[in-house]
A and B are shown apart, each in its own frame.
Chain A
Amino acid sequence: MSFLQNQFEKNFLTTSVDYLFNWARKSSLWPLQFGLACCAIEMIASTTSRFDIARFGAEVFRPSPRQSDLMIVAGTVTLKMGPVLRRIYEQMPEPKWVISMGACSSVGGPFNTYSVLQGVDKIVPVDVYVTGCPPRPENLFYALLKLQEKIDATPHLVRKPTHVRLEEAMLEDFKRRIMVAQTPEPAPALVTLG
């Protein structure tokens, strides 16, 4: 006699695969710690009992990209860090999402200089941007809820949701910007992100 016998007689529900998968994905996001500056302190603070990111099921911060599905880019991304960030993003398993936390990672913040990437969306696709310098944990939670709404609204089950959003033009644009950074006189018109 199998232990599964008679186990399915009482409890069952009808749902769609999309709904079930989206529910599972949004309810246990495992963030990757990508703290780069002062925003990281707020990100860490959001895990403490005072703010408690565990209320939204996203408390399991992983040190390894291979175990996480949400990258919270918290802080200033320098041009030297850019390729590292991109590589770590590529190491994350699908499906994966990105929150750009704070002014620096969203648009470069106050650092419009020779060494700082002007927005992390130039190298990875960003789902939710958080304003603030640095944002309070409540702002991060709002971004998390927005991301959960977005995951919930994924219309059909896609094996790699990220690939749908990551257009070839963005990759080309990234390569082009790296090339631009190495030419003495940059081309006047840059490709705009689609």
Chain B
Amino acid sequence: MPPDAPENGSVSNPTHLSLKETFSGAIFETTEAYGEIGFVVDPAKIVEISSYLKHVQGFERLSSVTAVDWWPREPRFEIVYQLHSIRRNLRARLKIRVSAGTAVDSVTVVWRSANWYEREVFDLFGVTFANHPNLERIMMPMDFEGHPLRKDFPIHGYRYSYRDE
């Protein structure tokens, strides 16, 4: 690691400090590396924190929502929100960790662009989002079974195998 990348847990950044003051107890980890800041936060507070980051800290753009499956670790899913502030020319990474079967509050009320991203995460990882306006599959066929980007998904799927051919 280059010398200019600080260790994880640095709280030198003003956004980190203000977030820690506002949501004490809901911020589990903070990181800062290569000019990008990151947080791991409480899944129950995701909408409040998103709203704060958008309206107070100026992260008006949600550039991506994705997920990581850390199976068999628990909680297995890590939902990653990539934020971008055009005004401040700054990017931030917001993460929450949830178990399978736990519904995550949708952030479509804060950023409307989260709609399709959350559908994608639901389709491929099987994470459900509460209060989502239209939570259905976006990539796989509607009658598909299973969530193919889960680490325990068999490569041929649950319903069909080409191995006999």
Interface residues of A (CB under 8 A from B): 79-80, 108, 112-115, 118, 180-184, 186, 188-190
Nearest A residue (CB) for B154 = A114
Question: For residue A181, which residues in chain B have a CB less than 8 angstroms away from its CB?
Answer: 159-160
Interface residues of B (CB under 8 A from A): 140-141, 143, 146, 148, 153-162, 164-165
Nearest B residue (CB) for A114 = B157
**Dominant secondary structure of chain A at its interface with chain B:** loop
Nearest chain A CB to B153 CB, angstrom units: 8
> Are the CB atoms of B159 and A182 closer together than 8 Å?
yes
Nearest chain B CB to A116 CB, angstrom units: 9
> Are the CB atoms of A114 and B141 closer together than 8 Å?
no
> Are the CB atoms of A114 and B165 closer together than 8 Å?
no
Nearest chain A CB to B35 CB, angstrom units: 36
Say which residue of B140, B154, B161, B164 sits within 8 Å of A115 (CB atoms): B140
Nearest B residue (CB) for A118 = B162
Say which residue of B148, B154, B155, B160 sits within 8 Å of A180 (CB atoms): B160
Nearest chain A CB to B86 CB, angstrom units: 35
Say which residue of A80, A108, A186, A189 sits within 8 Å of B161 (CB atoms): A186
Say which residue of A79, A108, A184 sits within 8 Å of B158 (CB atoms): A184
Question: For residue A188, which residues in chain B have a CB less than 8 angstroms away from its CB?
Answer: 164
> Are the CB atoms of B155 and A114 closer together than 8 Å?
yes
Question: For residue B146, which residues in chain A have a CB less than 8 angstroms away from its CB?
Answer: 114
Nearest A residue (CB) for B142 = A80
Task: Kindly state the separation between the CA atoms of A186 and B163 in the bound complex, as whole angstroms.
Answer: 11
Nearest chain B CB to A175 CB, angstrom units: 14
Whether A113 contacts B156 in the complex (CB less than 8 A), given A79-B141, A80-B140, A80-B141, comes out as yes
